[in-house]
Amino acid sequence: MSLYEASLSQETIRRTKSYDIGNLFYVAFFGGVIALTVLANRTGRWLHVNPNVLRGFIFVAALLYLGKMGFYYAYFHHMIELERVYVKYIARAAELLLFGGYYLALRQPYRQHMLTVGENEPLKKSGIIWCLISAGIEIVSIVLLIAL
């Protein structure tokens, strides 16, 4: 390779796009586990994060969701005694911990994306849609847990 030959060719350039990963905090807070997992994994695929890392996060999110539903089951069937406000705080804290994991995993690829591309995809529409879908799924799950 000559010193003056281009080091990048069209075959080696991988296009990236991304949501602002800081805004995934709001998705985690308002939308919950499902919305966060869908949108953070979409961002991870766009940023070409290792698929095994994304699969690991899906596994952790599934465990978190099942743990959350088990916690709600125990609460609604009086197996544990807590004030209602603490139940909501515990669930939100777990979701925000999941966001922290996604943030740490996506931070470096996101910085690289911002250096090379410098633009983000809008999160508002897909964020609202997935927050509503996630809330609907969680409401149905909780109603079914109460009925058991």
47-74: pLDDT as tens digits? 999 999 999 999 999 999 999 999 989 9
Instruction: State pTM to two decimals.
Output: 0.84
The pLDDT of residue 129 is 96
The pLDDT of residue 9 is 53
The pLDDT of residue 116 is 86
Assess whether pLDDT exceeds 50 at residue 6: no
The pLDDT of residue 40 is 95
The confidence band for 124, taking pLDDT boundaries of 50, 70 and 90, is: very high
Cα separation, 56 vs 64, in Å, equals 12
Assess whether pLDDT exceeds 70 at residue 2: no
